[in-house]
Amino acid sequence: MNTSADQNTKCEVSFTVNGEKKSVLAHPMERLLDVLRHELELTGTKEGCGEGECGSCSVLLDGMLVNSCLVPVAQVSGTTIITIEGMSSHFLMKPLQEAFLECGGAQCGICTPGMILAAVHLLEKTPNPALADIREGLSGNLCRCTGYMQIFEAVSKAAPRRAAK
């Protein structure tokens, strides 16, 4: 089976990433995760499972938290994507980063970018979350190191600090 004869062609997909307009040439079924990491060299978004279970690949797609390992790049044409690298100016970022460091919310760090994005997504919708809201908001992000306690603490701590915009 020589594939070059029936090789599918790449297509141009344009979207905004972290505030910048980008255009990539990719096969339409390339995973968004791979386009971000390889074509755009945004390696902050991680692959943990490739099946949408661990949440390490979470990004914000038009403001919605999604698992980028399950998104074909062709579907992000014209959208706005934010990865962990683009979060630095977000008003929730500093409170979350500080709280994660204070509380021990990051140990090995591989789940942390996804976890922080999930926390941002939660706090944008629920500015004063109860513990039950935090647990639910992070239910799609697996952490093997912390046992979650210190992550919940960090998110709780960060929530009221958002006022310092």
Partner 1 sequence: MTVPHIVGSSVPRKEGWDKVTGAARYVDDMVLPGMLYGATVRSTIARGKIRNISFDPSIPWSEFVVVSSKDIPGKNHIALILDDQPCLASEAVNHPEEPILLLAHPDRHKLRKAVDAVAIDYDPLPSIHSIEESEEQSTIIWGSDNTLKSYLVEKGDVDAVWKDAAHIVEGEYFTGAQEQLYIENNGVIAAYDPEHGVTVWGSLQCPYYVHKALMALCGLPENKVRVVQMETGGAFGGKEEYPSMIAGHAALLAIKSGQPVKFVYDRMEDMVATTKRHPSRTRHRTAVDKDGKILGGEIDFTIDGGAYATLSSVVLSRGTIHAGGPYHWPSVRIRTKAVATNTPPHGAFRGFGAPQSLFAMERHMDRIAQVVGISPVEGRRRNFLKPGQTTTTQQVIREEIDLHHLLDRALELSSYTAKKTRFAEENKTGTRKKGIGIAAFLHGAGFTGSGERYLNSLVGVEAGVDGTVRVLVSSAEFGQGTNTVLCQIAAEALGLPYGNVVIAQPDTNVVPNSGPTVASRTAMIVGKLVQSAAQGIKQTLAKTGFLGDNYTPEQFRAACAQYIAAHETLKSYARYEAPGNVYWDDEKYRGEAYAAFAWAVYVAEVTVDLTTYAVSVDDFVALQEVGKVINPVLAEGQITGGVAQAIGFALYEKVLWQNGRMINNQMTNYIMPASLDLPPIRVFFEELGNVHGAHGAKGIGELPMDGPAPAILSAVEDATGVPFRSIPLLPEDLFEALRDEPIEQDFSPSTRGRA
Partner 2 sequence: MRADPSDYKLVSPGTLKGVLSLLSSEPSQWLPIAGGTDVMVLYSAGKLPNRNLINIWNVPELRQIEVLPDSIRIGAACTYTALREHELVSKEFSLLATAASWTGGIANQNRGTLGGNIANASPAADSLPALLVYDAELTLVSVRGERQVPYQNFHTGYKKTVMTSDELIRDISLPRRFSGYFSHARKVGARNAQAISKVCLAALGQCAHGIIRDVRLALGSVAPVPLRLNETERVLTGQKIEASLIDAARKCVVKEIRPIDDIRSTARYRAAVAGNLVAEFLDKLAAAGGRA
What is the token pair recorded at 140? 């799609």
Write the DSSP symbol of residue 37: I
| 69-77, 88-96, 143-151, 152-160 -> range binding partner 2 (CB under 8 A) | 69-77
Rounded Cα distance between 16 and 163, Å, is 28
Tokens 């995973």, located at residue? 31
Rounded Cα distance between 151 and 125, Å, is 18
Nearer CB in complex with partner 1: 54/61: 54
Q: Among 10, 14, 139, 160, which residue interacts with partner 1 (rule: CB under 8 A)?
A: 139
Q: Among 22, 79, 90, 104, which residue interacts with partner 1 (rule: CB under 8 A)?
A: 104
Query: Shortest distance, CB of residue 52 to partner 1, whole angstroms?
Result: 9
Nearer CB in complex with partner 2: 17/33: 33
Are 92 and 116 a contacting pair, CB within 8 Å?
no
Nearer CB in complex with partner 1: 91/148: 148
Q: Residue 119 binds which one of partner 1, partner 2, none, with CB within 5 to 8 A depending on kind? A: none
Rounded Cα distance between 55 and 86, Å, is 18
Sign of CA dihedral 24, 27, 32, 37: negative
Residue ranges binding partner 2 (CB under 8 A)? 3, 7-8, 26-31, 34, 47, 50-53, 55, 58, 61, 64-67, 69-72, 74-75, 77, 118, 121-122, 136-137, 139-141
